[in-house]
Structure 1
Amino acid sequence: MRKLFGTDGIRAVAGEAPLDERTVRAVGVALATKLGKGSSVVMGMDTRESGPWIAATLAAGLREGGATVANAGVITTPAVAFLARKHGFSAGVVISASHNPWRDNGIKVFGGDGYKLPDAVEMEIEAEIEKALAADGETQNHDDALPEVNESFRAEYVRFLLEAVPGISLDNRKVVIDCANGAASAVAPQLFEHLGGTVEVTHASPDGLNINEQCGALHPEIVAAEVKVRGASMGMTFDGDADRALFADEHGNVVNGDAVMLACARDMQARGELDGDVVVATTMSNMGFEAALKRSGISMLRAPVGDKYVLEEMRRSGAALGGEQSGHVLFPARATTGDGLLTALMVLDVVHRSGKTLGELIADLKNYPQVILNVKVREKVPLDSLPDVVAMIRAAEDELRDSGRVVIRYSGTEALARVMIEAESEDAMRRHAEAIAGAIRAELGI
């Protein structure tokens, strides 16, 4: 069982284990050891205050383990995946905690092929981390100087995005872009400036402490409100490392990942690009989304939560489109990982070629009422070992049966239990969600 890696890398409060200086250095040593002699790593980060020292410490560990390090500076997570693959690096590493608050940070690792590491490889790296920690009981002085930022990397990534969606145009529309005071702040303005419309950029002034703070994909209602105030045709909003995107339509309604996949799936089907007429989503995707796909002759497969698990199912089934309700959308013919900026361009392209608004493209999507409650927990024990929790879950499943769904899981990136209930009856939905959340809180709550 993995101890350090969650569903999206290592993540914790910066400065506290496992993101203390000693462990971060050990991660670098371990990764370099796993990659082998003569390995090379490209590294990037988001805009958190702790990013530079974590990157410097990790780079020191990588060099100690025999690897060379290239620095992409502040850049998006998918950009690092792209650069690792394009330039033949042994791995790509991103210092980011994605949508988490600024105090948190993390370490995400991509293979040289641009894909996130399989769980088995992460477990092997964890074993090497334990060895590195055992071999070095004290934090030592290391060369912690980061290499100079290679400014050409960012320009290469922008060119890749524009070439991935050729002929794209805003058709003189006005769009609002919320960069979450994160990594998109360094890329999005340059990407969108030549698309033939008016681009109004918000939350693109990072100060190390304001990433995701009342902005970005964690708060899509913010960009939705801006669309209405500014009279824009669309809004798009990214998380801290810009590997996911959410949207707002012309009426200021939030458009989540399910709706994005619906619009893209229908477009790809019409162009003969939706292999097998199948889309891969997760256990969190709404039953209304599944019903809308079915009306278009498209089937849906469900994978565990986490874009890496969605991609694994896509590769297994041969699907050309997949993603999460939270905004990770995967287009494997174009990129190896979820990319919020690529998703934004793909949505803009569908709107451009269809001649319709985003709202019109998804007008028939009728979601079942759905609620997600997050319960802070002190530990993640198996839920089926808690009799009161099991009883509440069973009661919900018995009542809802074919008219709803019950999904209870732990977050892979935070100390949270997530309670998701979906039902035709909003009253039943909320009643069961509160009952299950209450039972978890009584057993494990902080």
Structure 2
Amino acid sequence: MATTCRGASAAAVRITWPSSESPATSCKTFGRRDFRRAPSPAAKMAMVTGMDKAMTPRHNSRLARTFPPNYKFLGKADAIPARNRMAPTRPDGKDMRRFFGTDGIRGRAGAFPLQPEALSVIGATLTSVFFLRARRAPRFVIGGDTRESSPWIAAALAQGIAQAGGTVSCAGVIPTPGVAYLTRAEGFDAGIVVSASHNPYHDNGIKFFLASGEKRDDDLETAIEVALDALPPAPPTADAPDAPPLWEDPTHALSYLEFLTQRIAADLDLSRWRLALDCANGAAAPYANIMLQALGAQTCVTGATPTGRNINDQRGTTHIRHLAEFARATDAQLGIAFDGDADRCLFVDEQGEVVDGDAILYAMALDADARSELSPRCVVTTVMSNMGLEVALRERGIELIRTPVGDRAVLAAMLERGALLGGEQSGHIIFARQSLAGDGLITALNVLRMLTERNLSLREAVRGLARFPQTLINVPVREKRPFETLPGLAATVRDVEAQLAGRGRLLLRYSGTENLARVMLEAANGIDIGALAAQVAAAIARDLGNGRP
């Protein structure tokens, strides 16, 4: 049900994970157990003895159990670059990345490795890696979305961190980019996010942020892969573990809200706006409405009553048509939808049309360029973005740089080229001057600022972007074999590309977080892209599918 909040105060907010015990109870407090304790004697000894020796977890008997015998450490810590201090090896030379996808670890909560013992090992490994780098007990901040499994996953990770001599502070429910901000602003060694983004409630995941705000840390991921690979997988369980909850520090939420309202939105007056918000019953629910009302906007809200099991359920960016209907019903000038962990957002304009990440990049690039603030004159996006965006920007002298799918790839290219703006069609936008993490709340504020200062509607701001017709089909697969090894598919692809005759493009890729093959096809008007994409999807389903596409 839609609700309208009036006069909310950021100073009064208390943010907790929802209880799964009763849908009628929206939140519960964490209790009072706090894992922020002093390192154990063994960990202290490791810190001392590691100063003038090769610093390895073997100095600490509990840390040593984290790593299998074939894990090799390189030399003295002070002689090794921070990002390359350890090199795991496996005799068979197989790919180590069994657990990490394009956006951290993700899977069914209660299935390996999202089980208490494995999570504790992940926490201990994380602590070991940062202990080697910092030569002291590392400090972490942890937060997550509103899934019923998020509290016990966070508690299990924190237990492993504490046992290995690290300390952890809990932010409770907070958007993924909020953890990135806290990590950087409050001097933590790393941030930990418990979330599965836009996935259903029964899934969950873990991702890490460095103090710089970056997600990429290949050494850390490899260390965790090796540690998990040494564990025998336990059978999945549907029952939540009886883990002691973490105590949350409410100052973290307030710090993030202050950053948004006082720094990102400094001097921004939204009193002219009536907004419809869809918080996906996720991490944006305690923040978006408070933030926008504090800036003077009138808001109508849906998807802001999380129960632990309704995150992304017919709400949020994956169900954007619901927001279009809601915005019309509430007579809103603009609709804003977030995904489960609020690192992306999509918009609905005043006529109920969806405005995706491509259109946001187009409008924000033109605005920055007009203010001489797009230097270098380029935008970074992925291979999934529409060819129309590339053509529209090229006509205005702005280069479009394409990367593989994933915000990590986008950020890597942005840092390499010095680009200030990048993102994905899904609504994950990075404004490098403000944050290296895509942030749906920052995106909403920046778009609203641009529209307010230029006195435009969103429809007017994106005018000039002529899209190529595009279609995307997701095909469930039982395994992810290289597409080029499938003879039937190869023949179909050759036939489709011959019909496109250079007037469009076909892109095949596997999802990094789900057992899906994605078929994307776009072409100039006059080509039946739906029929062509269906041919390719059917070929994949014949070879790999576990059902009809």
Per the TM superposition, whether the score is higher than 0.5 is yes
Identity %: 45
Matches within 5 A, 1:4-403: 4-36=99-131, 37-131=136-230, 133=231, 144-162=243-261, 163-403=263-503
Whole-angstrom CA distance in 1 between matches of 2:104 and 2:415: 21
**Given the alignment of the two structures, is residue 423 of structure 1 paired with residue 518 of structure 2, yes or no?**
no
Paired AA for residue 7 in structure 1 = T
Paired AA for residue 113 in structure 1 = S
CA contact (8 A) 2:345 2:427 kept: yes
Whole-angstrom CA distance in 2 between matches of 1:200 and 1:280: 33
CA contact (8 A) 1:88 1:112 kept: yes
CA shift, 1:119, in A, is 3.6
Whole-angstrom CA distance in 1 between matches of 2:453 and 2:486: 52
Between 1:396-405 and 1:423-432, the stretch displaced more is 423-432
CA shift, 1:427, in A, is 4.6
Please state whether the residue corresponding to 1:261 is helix, strand or coil.
helix
Please state whether the residue corresponding to 2:530 is helix, strand or coil.
helix
CA contact (8 A) 2:191 2:210 kept: yes
Paired AA for residue 129 in structure 2 = K
Whole-angstrom CA distance in 2 between matches of 1:126 and 1:351: 45
Please state whether the residue corresponding to 2:284 is helix, strand or coil.
helix
CA shift, 1:276, in A, is 1.6
Paired AA for residue 325 in structure 2 = A
Matched with 1:435 is 535
CA shift, 1:331, in A, is 0.4
Sort the Cα spacing of 1:223 and 1:160 in 2 relative to 1 into closer, same or farther, 3 A: same
CA contact (8 A) 1:169 1:348 kept: no
CA contact (8 A) 1:282 1:305 kept: yes
CA deviations over 1:125-162 (Å, ceiling 9, x no partner): 3123335x37x9xxxxx995344111111111111112
RMSD value, Cα:
1.9
CA deviations over 1:97-148 (Å, ceiling 9, x no partner): 00000110001111122210234542233123335x37x9xxxxx9953441
Matched with 1:139 is none
CA shift, 1:31, in A, is 1.1
Unpaired stretches in structure 2, ≥5 consecutive residues: 1-94, 235-240
Please state whether the residue corresponding to 1:264 is helix, strand or coil.
helix
Paired AA for residue 478 in structure 2 = R
CA shift, 1:426, in A, is 5.9
Please state whether the residue corresponding to 1:153 is helix, strand or coil.
helix
Paired AA for residue 440 in structure 2 = G
Number of equivalences: 442
Please state whether the residue corresponding to 1:98 is helix, strand or coil.
coil
Please state whether the residue corresponding to 1:407 is helix, strand or coil.
strand
CA shift, 1:27, in A, is 1.2
Whole-angstrom CA distance in 2 between matches of 1:305 and 1:372: 14
Whole-angstrom CA distance in 1 between matches of 2:369 and 2:333: 25
CA contact (8 A) 1:60 1:143 kept: no
Whole-angstrom CA distance in 2 between matches of 1:429 and 1:94: 38
Whole-angstrom CA distance in 1 between matches of 2:410 and 2:276: 29
Whole-angstrom CA distance in 2 between matches of 1:340 and 1:244: 4
Please state whether the residue corresponding to 2:208 is helix, strand or coil.
strand
Whole-angstrom CA distance in 2 between matches of 1:397 and 1:169: 50
Unpaired stretches in structure 1, ≥5 consecutive residues: 137-141
Between 1:307-316 and 1:109-118, the stretch displaced more is 109-118
Paired AA for residue 222 in structure 2 = M
